[in-house]
Amino acid sequence: MAKPEITRREFIKGLAAGAASLATLGILQSCEYSLQDSKTNPGIGGGGAAAPQASSGLTFTPGTYEATARGIGSDVKVTMTFDEKSITDVQIDVSGETPDIGGKIGDQMAQAILQAQSADVDAVSGATITSDAIKAAAADCISQASGTTVTLGGDSASGSSDWLGEAPEIAESDITETLDTEVLVVGCGTGGWITTMTAAEEGAKVLVLEKRETPTNIRHDIGAIGSKRQLESIAADPKYAIDKMEALQDIVRYGGGYVDSDLIKVWENESAELVDWLTDILERDGYFAMRHEAGVGNINDPGRDKAYATGHSPETLPGAPEGMETDVYFRQYCDSMGVEFRCNTALVKLEQDGNGKVTGAIAQDQTDNHYIRVNASKGVIMCAGGYASNTDMMQALQPMTLSMKINLPAGSTCDGSGIKAMLWAGAALDPTHASMMFNRACCLPTETAGYKTNGKMFWFGEQPFLKVNLNGKRFCNESGPYEFMLHSMYMQPNHTYCDIFDSNAKAYAEQFDEVGCCRLFPFDNGAPSNRDFDSVWDQITGQFVDEGYVIKADTIEDLAKGMNIPADNLVAAVDRYNELCAKGVDEDYGKELHRMTPVTQAPYYGVRVGAWHLTTLNGCRINTDMQVIREDGSVIEGLWATGDCTGGFFAQTYPNLFTGLACGRTMTFGRHAAKIVAHL
């Protein structure tokens, strides 16, 4: 019998009238009811004076119920108390979640669930994974109390295609604080720190707005051309020299042309000064050393894609005080220059005068929700990051990334609020998307990639071992930019692949001679890699095998069984791969010979892999002075921007073979903008 259809509108109307619940219609109860709906239906969702009632019209067995669901770093626990008709109390334990992110949303979510009388409430922006876990556990409690299976109506994306909406109207009477500054820096992460220190050094009065409790530390691979440290490496070995024109052509090619060549040239021409300046700051007390990551791979056996030795990384030295990190150091420096920081304070929108010039911003203090007007006499510099945690924006602008990603605790928590504020002010948006994704996330053999799958950081991911699809078949050259592998994966069933390696992995990984942050051995000049082989291997073959993420087997057939992929296909793929390795040529996909390593030494290992989504890299268009521009190229006066909230630099993919390019451009552009704005 066909299921009776009921529209969302009819469902709500029916509930308001106290009519039959869906249960009486004989279909699965669905809490397809949001907080927003409840505002338009007082009496259902706790609005007005009416006693709260479950938004679904359910009745409950009074009592207290408990449920847990997997968050990003822990099992989130929800405890709910019910009387016969309503939820009377909600307690949420998120103490195992990231303190500054999911770990602080328990009270907010509890209040929302109580008010909506439903588990189907809005996720907290920037903490969607913890929010989803809370919602799932709350739905479980409601199911237990009602004796009816309650499912959530949607997912963390609202399904709304209007991700932009309108700039919120804030009544003057709600703005209870006014701050005056010369330079307003919005967002303090990789770009914000550099922008702030530069503007303050140049003598400007600087105010920083940061929505988190504390600013975000800079990322530690910084790409540049021509720094003093890099020139030292080149003097020792000319193979590290970088031809700027060749680099420009390559970056343009990676972006399929959807980039502004002149912006790329600003990075090429000014990144050396940025790194040298930063090196001087970081090294002056002897706590840090800036290291050049001297590595370009095996140039005698070049592959399809060229690596550039652009990476620089600050290393913390043994003499540094306990807890000394680069952000701690920067904060001390900023304090010494009189910079004012307002943390827990989020930009809401930009303010413009009658001519469209940006004059400041409206922000909201997140501890007590009061609104603040910030007047910036010289200008506003946006450093508010991308939109990786805004699932609606992701769905609208780059849904393929959501299909490839596996959730990990580490990643940008930015929600696109900076980009939206600039668009409301008239900015143009990049024509196409870009993200930074690494093939460094794994899931269980019973799972596939997708943004609802939570997994583990699989640091081994980019090592170019044999990789097969879920049918057990090899499908591409495994060696090259991280995202090339992932994009090739996207073309395969369920957007997930399997990494296959054997017990000779250490010798092979050294032979691969990888560059950048996936390198597992010291660089040629002794600079340390981000992680060393042994610690990664111990985790993979210990913890991950125990937890069932990595399958260990003595035969390829058993490996295939453990991975839930066809054994005959995997055996054939391994045989063919070993044959090509012996032949000394990859006749199938053209991988470099030094990366063709056979799978012959038991025990064998296999793991399902997807994308670690670090951040988004497309945003509002800027000119070569980092002024935000409109679609027609005209400048929005008073507004500058850098980093992940800006565009024109990356498209389609992240060229990770230019190590640290994202941070390098963000910092270089922040410094460029700050020098201009400070002297207006």
Ligand X SMILES: Cc1cc2nc3c(=O)[nH]c(=O)nc-3n(C[C@H](O)[C@H](O)[C@H](O)COP(=O)(O)OP(=O)(O)OC[C@H]3O[C@@H](n4cnc5c(N)ncnc54)[C@H](O)[C@@H]3O)c2cc1C
Give min distance, CB of 668 to ligand X, in A.
10
Give min distance, CB of 348 to ligand X, in A.
7
Give min distance, CB of 58 to ligand X, in A.
37
Give min distance, CB of 658 to ligand X, in A.
9
| C-alpha span between 532 and 628 (Å, rounded) | 41
Q: What is the DSSP letter of 407?
A: B
By C-beta, is 281 or 382 nearer to ligand X?
382
By C-beta, is 145 or 307 nearer to ligand X?
307
Count the neighbouring beta carbons within 10 Å of the beta carbon of residue 584.
Answer: 8
User: Are 467 and 608 a contacting pair, CB within 8 Å?
Assistant: no
By C-beta, is 190 or 279 nearer to ligand X?
190
Give min distance, CB of 583 to ligand X, in A.
38
By C-beta, is 263 or 661 nearer to ligand X?
661
Give min distance, CB of 673 to ligand X, in A.
12
By C-beta, is 279 or 469 nearer to ligand X?
279
By C-beta, is 98 or 115 nearer to ligand X?
98
> Helix 556-563 crosses helix 567-583 at what angle (to 10 degrees)?
130
By C-beta, is 437 or 468 nearer to ligand X?
437
DSSP letters for 470-535: TTS-B-S---S-HHHHHHHHHTSGGG-EEEEE-TTHHHHHHHHT--GGG--S--TTSPPPSS-HHH
Give min distance, CB of 384 to ligand X, in A.
4
Sheet holding 288-292, edge to edge: 222-223, 311-316, 288-292
Query: 3-state SS string over 45-67?
Result: CCCCCCCCCCCCCCCCCCEEEEE
By C-beta, is 136 or 209 nearer to ligand X?
209
By C-beta, is 125 or 463 nearer to ligand X?
125
Is it true that the peptide bond before 603 is cis, omega within 30 degrees of 0?
A: yes
| C-alpha span between 566 and 569 (Å, rounded) | 6
Give min distance, CB of 561 to ligand X, in A.
35
By C-beta, is 139 or 436 nearer to ligand X?
436
Convert 511-539 to b/e letters by CB count within 10 Å (16 or more is b): ebbbbbbbbbbebbbebebeeebeebbeb
Count the neighbouring beta carbons within 10 Å of the beta carbon of residue 273.
Answer: 15
Give min distance, CB of 482 to ligand X, in A.
12
DSSP letters for 237-300: -GGG---HHHHHHHHHHHTTT-S-HHHHHHHHHHHHHHHHHHHHHHHTTSSEEEEE------TT
| C-alpha span between 169 and 410 (Å, rounded) | 34
By C-beta, is 476 or 663 nearer to ligand X?
663
By C-beta, is 529 or 597 nearer to ligand X?
529
Give min distance, CB of 219 to ligand X, in A.
3
Structure tokens at 154: 């949607």
By C-beta, is 576 or 675 nearer to ligand X?
675
Structure tokens at 510: 């050294």
Give min distance, CB of 186 to ligand X, in A.
5
Residues that bind ligand X (CB under 6 A): 186-192, 209-212, 215-216, 219-221, 223, 346-347, 383-385, 410-412, 414, 417-418, 436, 517, 614-615, 643-645, 660-663, 666
Nearest to 94 by CA among 118, 78, 81, 113: 78
Q: Are strands 371-382 and 635-641 parallel, antiparallel or unpaired?
A: parallel
Report which secondary-structure segment, H or E, holds 176.
strand 175-186
Ordered alpha helix ranges (H), 337-416: 391-397, 399-404
By C-beta, is 94 or 209 nearer to ligand X?
209
Q: Can you tell me whether residue 189 is helix, strand or coil?
A: coil
Residue that has been written with the tokens 């140039």 in this structure: 299
Q: How wide is the angle at C-alpha 614 spanned by C-alphas 613 and 620, nearest 5°?
A: 105
Give min distance, CB of 557 to ligand X, in A.
38
By C-beta, is 497 or 658 nearer to ligand X?
658
The span from the first CA to the last CA of the chain, in angstroms, equals: 73
Nearest to 440 by CA among 402, 395, 407: 407
By C-beta, is 295 or 660 nearer to ligand X?
660
Query: 3-state SS string over 20-40?
Result: CCHHHHCCCCEECCCHHHHHH
Q: Can you tell me whether residue 629 is helix, strand or coil?
A: strand
Amino acid identity at 346: A
Give min distance, CB of 308 to ligand X, in A.
13
Give min distance, CB of 330 to ligand X, in A.
13
Residue that has been written with the tokens 């907010």 in this structure: 108
Structure tokens at 122: 């809005």
Give min distance, CB of 646 to ligand X, in A.
8
Nearest to 385 by CA among 422, 349, 419: 419
Handedness of CA 35, 37, 40, 45 (dihedral sign): negative
Give min distance, CB of 530 to ligand X, in A.
8
